[in-house]
Copies of this chain bind each other. A is one copy, B any other.
């Protein structure tokens, strides 16, 4: 197994981060890897918003506590050791909000997670993040997200405080013809 295959294999969704910023050159390298993701017809129909501003991250967490459904809040509270002061990005020091085509953003997100893993940075894709933008464009405007590109996915990034155990794969997912 070559290095890249190992990195892909080792990536986990990290849900506990160290309170330590990501050096600028490392975060830039991760974002660059995202930019090299393909898009249909090379439309590049996506936008990256890199949030490291603590006030903005706190604001998004407060909004999450108001807007997320009960089931999601219960899950995040449990993962937060029973403390309901949850963070939608698991208190990671950096959060990338991806906006645009659903598939385009998902492809970018995977590049980001693999690149992060290769640089010993943990990551977690955050599908719930779209709920923060529902029925209110204030957050979107303050994040300077282009109006024609809807927020689709978040990616939390930071140094790993707790490793996530490997999740088994279902064996019935592949048909060979």
Interface residues of A (CB under 8 A from B): 1-5, 7-9, 11, 13, 29, 31-33, 35-38, 40, 42, 44, 46-53, 56, 102-107, 109-111, 113-115, 117-119, 125, 127, 143-145, 152-153, 167, 169-170, 173-177
Contact = CB atoms under 8 A, between A and B. Distances in A.
Contacts of A5: 29, 32-33, 115, 118-119
Given A36-B9, A110-B111, A103 B118 contact: no
B175 A48 contact: yes
A177 B42 contact: no
A2 B167 contact: no
Contacts of A109: 107
Nearest to A48: B174
Nearest to A152: B103
Nearest to A40: B127
Contact of A173 (B46, B110, B111, B153): B46
A4 B161 CA distance: 23
A129 to B, nearest CB: 12
Nearest to A174: B48
A152 B107 CA distance: 13
B38 A113 contact: yes
Contact of A144 (B103, B111, B173, B175): B175
